[in-house]
Structure 1
Amino acid sequence: MGDGTIAIVGAGIAGAAAARRLSDAGRRVVVIDKGRGPGGRMATRRGPDSLRFDHGAQYFTARDPRFAALVEDWTARGVAGAWGGEGRHVGVPGMSAPVGDLLDGIDLRCGRAVGRLAREGRGWRLAEADGTALAKDTAFSHVLLTCPSPQSLALLASADQHLPGVAEVRYAPCWTLMLAHDGPPLPDSSVREDRDPEAVLAWIARNDSKPGREDGSTLVAHASPSWSRANLECTADDVAERLVTALRDRIPVGEIRHRAAHRWRYAAVERAVGEPCLFAPETGLGFAGDGCLGPRVEFACLSGLALAERVLAEGA
């Protein structure tokens, strides 16, 4: 099938985990992502004056021994650190650091959006939506999709392919507010959570309280799924203004030095496949990510590892 090179679409934690396992087993891997850098929803946004915000996933926990071993290794090497008790860990100096660590030494091509898959013999060619070839000299033996299911479905449809279960995944959106201000830090905790489905804000955290972050009052607030869904198509400027107002109702906010909003259309899985991964050995197509096991960083990582093992088992 193809020339033996494996394409992984998506450079989040699932794609990175799959790439690391396959590369360590001696397989040739190319990871392609439309973003400016790796991380996916384990994202770190740079602002003015060296400001940084973890505007996607806020932390991760480790319950499975395989993921716990990874977290222990990252922590020992300064790639991750504990944050605020309750078994919470974060990437250092930003949430994307563990993903970058997994992808170290792997062929990573960012800023390229895969728009089409095309069968060529027993391999696969990849192209952007306008038909521009990606890795034009390579016919991939496998294409592993680790992007959200709506994007994966579009790629499968472009090649008239189907992976049962992908269409069943459902996501909640999330608007995120990133704010730097001259006010005091949160008075008694780094985190505020609100599980009221009617609340405007579901999460408020001091980004500067995380290990390896620069000093300064920086906050990240996530709007609730219901509010985010109702305001999904609003402009980022309008959302930022309204979320600042909601934030002031909850905590003291000083003079604002920077504010921005980011929309995550596919933020958190509401309905997962319920399987570690999906794989069709007859075509070499696979799907992994939090859409398989549920909305946790750990689950996404384990799903990527499971898909890599399915690919490797073909040659066992």
Structure 2
Amino acid sequence: MILTIQPLKLTKPSPSPFHSIRTAIFCEKKAPFRRRKYNSSRRSVLKKTFIQEQVKFTAPVSDDPVVAIIGGGMSGLLCALFLEKRGVRSTVFDTGVHGLGGRMGTRIIDPSPLVFDHGAQFFTASDPVFAELVHDWSLKGLVQEWMGTIGELELGGQFTPLSSSSSRYVGVNGMRPLADSILSQTHMVDVVRPSWISKLEPFNGMWHLSENGKPRGQFDAIVIAHNGKCANRLLSASGLPLIARQMKRLELSSIWALLAAFDDPLPVPVDSSGSPFEGAFVKGIDSISWMGDNTKKISKAKDGGPYCWTFFSTAAFGKRNKVPQENIPTVTAERVKETMLEGVEAALGLSKSSLQRPCYTRLQLWGAALPTNTPGIPCIFDSEGRAGICGDWLLGSSLEAAALSGIALANQAGPLILSYIADYFTSGGSSPEEFSVGLHNEFQPLEGHDIGQFPGLESKEKIIEPQPV
């Protein structure tokens, strides 16, 4: 069934599917169940009430279109940036209390201060389009090449450095300041945060957004630039069944992040030049998949402690110890912290209970951490519903993949970067079926490290298979 939305024309709304459900349930005791015609069972009828009607906009796109982008991670930010390059205005709605960036999170704890990247640890740039962006960020002093040694750390303290065919980059003052700076010089992008968009409604040829009943504006098109349970709830009754179906196919891992500061340096293995490693993919330990020295990576000129480290669990450990991330039980937090510190101790080859106690710890659960499957396409766009999706999971699990997905949804910038939203607006919205993409692609398992993919590292080193999730 197609729901056609015309501008300035009010029609009697179709009955809510939830009204049908309530009627069926509440009347069950008043009337005996009767077998329906055509061998349709009550269960199948109830199931059909959950099938969304497809929104189909037929009104011409406005001369000055505005796009709502829900999610202010790398993908959403670059989608907004490249929409502006094509002359399209947008508003980015993000839930971040401390700043933009999504998984590009940086925690700064006063008064020292202590600085931790508690999401993305570093990134590579193998695609020429993304590499050009990174070069521009470098010239602006937003990113720098990470020259510290990284490698693989085996149980017992055996360390093997990794070479790379691509440079490794980090934010100069952490990852979040980079995210906050991406839109600093834009003039056609508004940012609203913290904001939790809770409802999308098509009406009079526009998308109307609201947050807990409060109107948040009307837009010519929408972009979903985040994923997980919140995105699924948002799409569940939006009138975009094809997009909702693709989003629900996505599978995400859960990973614990432990931020820990120590008064003294950790006794980490050194490379052939005698330099201690600054980051390591941990192998053979269930509770730890990565350990990174934020003090060396970010605060290079700092003398003395505290020394700030970020430890990530494996996906398998995260799955077994998953709890609601908004309300982590104290007993779970303490158990996870101690188990992860024991894992660090074993990885470094230290005797039991010899690891120094941290002077500061903070534990966070990334309940929807990284994708474990992908359709392998740049983006998804439903032209009839004027709605799209971008995110790292469409191409992989890296900052580069997130960036390329956002660009792909916004702009044409190279042979592998396709244009949908901006070109659709340029065409005036004619022949919308020509601009739809990714609505039926199948998903495939995604390989990489438990903390993501790093194009360039995989080209020379053995890929670390992710733990089962």
Change in CA separation of 1:250 and 1:32 when aligned onto 2, cut-off 3 Å: same
Contact 2:391 2:405 (C-alpha < 8 Å) held by counterparts: yes
Partner of residue 24, structure 1: 85
Is residue 162 of structure 2 the alignment partner of residue 80 of structure 1?
no
Q: Of 193, 198, 214, which aligns to 1:132? A: 214
**Scaled by the length of structure 1, what TM-score is found?**
0.92
Change in CA separation of 1:214 and 1:111 when aligned onto 2, cut-off 3 Å: farther
1:273, distance to aligned residue in structure 2 (A): 1.9
Which amino acid letter does the alignment assign opposite residue 230 of structure 2? Answer: Q
Contact 1:177 1:262 (C-alpha < 8 Å) held by counterparts: yes
Q: Deviations over 1:157-204 (max 9, x none)?
A: 1313221522221111110000001121434211221244x6210001
Which amino acid letter does the alignment assign opposite residue 142 of structure 2? Answer: V
Partner of residue 61, structure 1: 124
Which amino acid letter does the alignment assign opposite residue 282 of structure 2? Answer: D
For residues 95 and 243 of structure 1, the distance between their equivalents in structure 2, rounded to whole angstroms, comes to 24
Partner of residue 297, structure 2: 210
Partner of residue 108, structure 1: 191
Greater shift in the superposed pair: 255-264 or 151-160: 151-160
Partner of residue 422, structure 2: 312
Q: Of 301, 316, 338, which aligns to 1:241? A: 338
Q: Which has the larger share of strand? A: 1
State the structure with bigger RCO (CA 8 A, min sep 6), 1 or 2.
1
1:279, distance to aligned residue in structure 2 (A): 0.3
Alignment of 1:119-158 (within 5 A): 119-128=202-211, 130-134=212-216, 138-158=217-237
Partner of residue 223, structure 1: 313
Contact 2:77 2:182 (C-alpha < 8 Å) held by counterparts: yes
Which amino acid letter does the alignment assign opposite residue 56 of structure 1? Answer: G
Is residue 154 of structure 2 the alignment partner of residue 71 of structure 1?
no
Partner of residue 44, structure 1: 106
**Structure 2 unaligned spans of 5+:** 1-60, 150-163, 271-276, 412-419, 428-469
Q: Deviations over 1:211-268 (max 9, x none)?
A: 4566341100000000011001153344223322322333364342210111101111
Contact 1:59 1:88 (C-alpha < 8 Å) held by counterparts: yes
Is residue 265 of structure 2 the alignment partner of residue 184 of structure 1?
yes
For residues 18 and 259 of structure 1, the distance between their equivalents in structure 2, rounded to whole angstroms, comes to 35
Change in CA separation of 1:12 and 1:308 when aligned onto 2, cut-off 3 Å: same
| CA RMSD, 1 decimal | 1.9
Which amino acid letter does the alignment assign opposite residue 39 of structure 1? Answer: G
Q: Of 295, 299, 302, which aligns to 2:401? A: 299
For residues 214 and 267 of structure 1, the distance between their equivalents in structure 2, rounded to whole angstroms, comes to 31
DSSP 3-state at the match of 1:75: helix
DSSP 3-state at the match of 2:347: coil
**Structure 1 unaligned spans of 5+:** none
1:76, distance to aligned residue in structure 2 (A): 1.7
Which amino acid letter does the alignment assign opposite residue 263 of structure 2? Answer: D
DSSP 3-state at the match of 1:158: coil
Contact 1:183 1:255 (C-alpha < 8 Å) held by counterparts: no
Contact 2:251 2:371 (C-alpha < 8 Å) held by counterparts: yes
Change in CA separation of 1:123 and 1:210 when aligned onto 2, cut-off 3 Å: same
Which amino acid letter does the alignment assign opposite residue 227 of structure 2? Answer: P
Contact 2:94 2:196 (C-alpha < 8 Å) held by counterparts: yes
Partner of residue 232, structure 1: 322
Greater shift in the superposed pair: 69-78 or 103-112: 103-112
Contact 2:377 2:395 (C-alpha < 8 Å) held by counterparts: yes
1:35, distance to aligned residue in structure 2 (A): 1.4
Is residue 174 of structure 2 the alignment partner of residue 99 of structure 1?
no
Which amino acid letter does the alignment assign opposite residue 109 of structure 1? Answer: V
Q: Of 164, 174, 186, which aligns to 2:255? A: 174
**Scaled by the length of structure 2, what TM-score is found?**
0.63
Rg comparison, structure with higher value: 2
Q: Of 286, 297, 302, which aligns to 2:388? A: 286
Matched residue count:
311
Contact 1:7 1:32 (C-alpha < 8 Å) held by counterparts: yes
Is residue 96 of structure 2 the alignment partner of residue 10 of structure 1?
no
